[in-house]
Structure 1
Amino acid sequence: MKPMLPSLSFEIPEGKEWLYEVKYDGFRAILHWDDNEITLTSRNGKSLLELFPEVRLFLETNKDKFAPYLPLTLDGELVFLENAYKAHFGSIQVRGRMRSKKRIADKANASPCRLLIFDVIELSGKSVVNELYLSRKAILLALFKQCDLPLKPDEKSVKLIQMLPYYKNFAEVWEKVTLYDGEGIVAKQQNNRWEDGKRTSLWVKYKNWKYATCFITSYEKSNGYFYVGVYRNQTIIPIGQFIFGIKPDEKKALAQIIKENKADEDNQYIYVEPAICVEIKYLEIYEEQMREPHFHQFKFEIKPDSCTYDQFIQGQKNLPPDVIITHPNKPLWEEPPLQKIDFIHYLREISPYMLPFLKDRLLTVIRYPHGIFGESFYQKSCPEYAPDFVETKMADGINYIVCNNLKTLLWLGNQLAFEYHIPFQTINNHRPCEIVFDLDPPSREAFGLAVKAAKYIKEILDQLELIGFVKTSGNKGLQIYLPLQENTYTFEETRLFTAFIADYLVSKEPDSFTIERMKKNRGNRLYVDYIQHAEGKTIIAPYSSRGTKEATVATPLHWEEVNEHLRIADFQIPAILKRINQYGDPFHQYFAAKEKQNLQPVLDFLKK
């Protein structure tokens, strides 16, 4: 059995008859399971289970759940899931080339891949290929619910078989794909049937292209490929070759121009000096070359000198075209040495993790127009020159910015807003969305007091069966979060709890902790700022940078990291994405915890 295949399109099909699925970059795989055998077969008919034993182990461990539905055949994509909307192409390629059983087993255990199922072909021995798309999706959904499997991709879930849902609204899913830098989408007509081995126009893939401006360096005589490059310090760096996307008459004319203006020639290539500039669209950079390059257009107005490697690298960040980055090389931090474009790239890459905390909150930023080398200032009111995509909300006579999208975040970054401070409630209500304890030691040298206080608070949260998350402040302390169900508790009620915790810490170690507001009366004790948790007050947002000389970030932590080895200065802008990729996002379950958090019994006790 061969998989049904989509057709490539450079225009998104829209209309009520079209539905949309996220496209992931992995190995197409058909799972077949009968009473005696499990097979996982690639698009080319090769067995995949030997290379991905974690999939077999998960299936066999959960055989009792699947047993009522055998024999079954499911269609999906085997991926290394980077986030809910993107698979990492390089990682799945490395896995696919492995041959050592020990290395395969080690990788499967440390970094398991996941099988994302988007279609069902056979269930309980009955073929469903003649069912319409929506019917097949309904059958698949029922199967996944009965087997207690994830109904959408989740890179943190230990359940390695996950369902790939569909979306009715293209704009909704495309915003997620571009935000998380996914590969693209597959549009599917509602009335399609699954057809063995057919490339169909009823499934259409639409990709999330990046764009590179480069110049032609040579022409390959045997196959008609055009090779392109960019300059890095006057040296030509090859970045790939293209043949697709260019019209036959354009291709013929371009080849003729190269032949007439050749600088050199050998048995394989005709070489030209940099002169003809083109724009190429591609998926990503893989092994320093463009993946899936397609010709987009000639750039006759561009000179080759402006086609630089730096621009090429910046292009892969996929910044929105209507966000203009000015003075990208402006130095902002000295150690580490970070320029403005580095800061913008950080905001772009951290946005999937940071934006959910900014959403629907009145924003106060601290801007550093000269980087850390000059004065800073607070900004609450949205300036008149803000672009139309910046959302605002009037409150207390101030027209606040509400950072609900990537473009607003990047625009603020271009304004050199280093710090993002948010209130404890959204614009939709006046009740807190969370409780936050701000553990503020008197100095960086006394940071151990914050660690000690955090451990005490974690102990009492565990005893009360409450869910807490911890992050650095990015400056000199720690902050502990308790997510709350929306519009459930008042600030007066949460004050009961914050005061209780503060009093507990002070009674536990009065020489270490204090609730004294006056700095001069605190001595060397840590200030437990429970009064700060109130309507109108703000806290630094998770993953916000800080205006410190070390370019530190208010970084979410795993609880086991809260120990004597913890140092604020270890969490700098260049390290944060590497950290997430290696250890995951410690706040991944933050919003899901809102539904599980049960503060009411504690408040009932404190009210007595």
Structure 2
Amino acid sequence: MYYEIKYDGFRCLLYIDEEEIDLYSRNLISLRTGFPEIVKEATRIQNEYNEDLPILLDGELCVLESDIRASFSQIQKRGRLKNIEKIQQHTLLSPVTYLVFDLLVIGGKPLKSETYINRKQQLQSWMNKMSYPTVNHDFQTSIQWIPPQSDGESLFNQVKSKKGEGIVAKRKNSLWISGKRTPNWLKVKRLFRGFFIVTGFDEGNGYVHIAVIKDKKLEQIGLFSHGLEGKDREALIQIVQNNQKGRKGTLIKVSPGICVELEFLELYNMQLRHPRFVQFRLDIHWEDCTWEALQTQMDS
């Protein structure tokens, strides 16, 4: 196995030939107009290194916060922009870096059927030729690349300590397979844990509403459903139905009292990303599920 840092961004293919440059999302929607700084650098490749064309790269469009971490909120903002003038302004305010992790075609030669490690070696050779660095937040280059590492445990601990998203484990003999989940590439995400107050259950979609106490008030902080299964789900539904204080459509509201422990990826706009149920916490009083306690748990 080899291991790479996983960055929070938009998965993207970059295609360059003598006449065309385009960025494609995973479902083959063009992203070209939204990221002119990447197109500008691709144009330089097109003009100065046409012996390497056509070329097809696989990577992640990211707004880097460090060599380990990318900003989900910033790349989301960039992705929503449609006005050309505003997009140009944000190339200075929140410049995007294309972090390449795979080489699929070079000089018109397809590499998808070659092994991961062979593709990576050819990618490294080409990146060195182009003087593109491995991921470096302080080195302002629009194209950089993600190197493989052999010590997954050490890399994951490094990612955890700097609050990165996680790592990807890749089998060295794996092939590149389009649009499919494969056991040859395994994501290992760095997750936080915290304690939350149940405030309701939606009978329509099966989601549980949760909150923390912030400034002496209940602050709604998200919904969850994943991980809550079998007897735990049945018990929660029964408790909510027996202790409801009101309804709003299919949402059953309850007074504070039930506490749960959840895993989650991060907080974004005061909402949990990818929360998952861990367990009920009958030993935790709901008044201890505070915003300050959550921040302490995330920093530990």
| 1:120 to 2:111 alignment | no
| 1:235 to 2:217 alignment | yes
Separation in 1 of the partners of 2:108 and 2:229? 48
CA RMSD of the aligned region, Å? 1.4
Q: CA deviation at 1:214?
A: 0.8
Aligned position for 2:2: 19
* TM alignment of 1:435-474, pairs within 5 A: none
Aligned position for 2:82: 99
| 1:184 to 2:183 alignment | no
The C-alpha deviation readout for 1:316-355, integer Å capped at 9, x for no partner, is 33x2xxxxxxxxxxxxxxxxxxxxxxxxxxxxxxxxxxxx
Separation in 1 of the partners of 2:13 and 2:238? 46
Q: CA deviation at 1:248?
A: 3.3
**Alpha carbons 2:7, 2:68 under 8 Å: kept:** yes
SS of residue matched to 1:279 = strand
Q: CA deviation at 1:174?
A: 1.5
* TM alignment of 1:34-113, pairs within 5 A: 34-113=17-96
- Residue 179 (structure 2) aligned to one of 192, 197, 201: 197
List gaps (5 residues or longer) in structure 1. Answer: 1-17, 320-608
The C-alpha deviation readout for 1:510-538, integer Å capped at 9, x for no partner, is xxxxxxxxxxxxxxxxxxxxxxxxxxxxx
Aligned position for 2:259: 277
Aligned position for 1:419: none
SS of residue matched to 1:219 = strand
**Alpha carbons 1:81, 1:88 under 8 Å: kept:** yes
Percentage of pairs with the same residue:
35
SS of residue matched to 1:274 = coil
Flag the 1:236–1:111 CA change in 2: closer, same or farther, 3 A: closer
The more displaced of 245-254 and 92-101 is: 245-254
**Alpha carbons 2:16, 2:42 under 8 Å: kept:** no
List gaps (5 residues or longer) in structure 2. Answer: none
Aligned position for 1:144: 127
- Which amino acid is 1:239 matched to? I
Separation in 2 of the partners of 1:190 and 1:95? 34
Aligned position for 2:289: 307
Q: CA deviation at 1:110?
A: 4.0
Separation in 2 of the partners of 1:230 and 1:257? 19
Separation in 2 of the partners of 1:159 and 1:231? 43
SS of residue matched to 2:137 = coil
- Residue 166 (structure 1) aligned to one of 145, 148, 151: 148
Structure ID, larger Rg: 1
* TM alignment of 1:225-264, pairs within 5 A: 225-264=207-246
SS of residue matched to 2:199 = strand
Residue-pair matches, total: 300
SS of residue matched to 1:43 = coil
The more displaced of 42-51 and 71-80 is: 42-51
Separation in 1 of the partners of 2:272 and 2:27? 24
Separation in 2 of the partners of 1:270 and 1:303? 21
Separation in 2 of the partners of 1:153 and 1:305? 43
SS of residue matched to 1:141 = helix
Which ranges of 4 or more aligned residues in structure 1 deviate by more than 4 Å? Answer: none
Q: CA deviation at 1:266?
A: 2.8
**Alpha carbons 1:280, 1:294 under 8 Å: kept:** yes
Give TM-score scaled by structure 2 length: 0.95
**Alpha carbons 2:61, 2:97 under 8 Å: kept:** yes
Separation in 2 of the partners of 1:25 and 1:309? 24
- Which amino acid is 2:20 matched to? E
- Residue 153 (structure 1) aligned to one of 109, 112, 135: 135
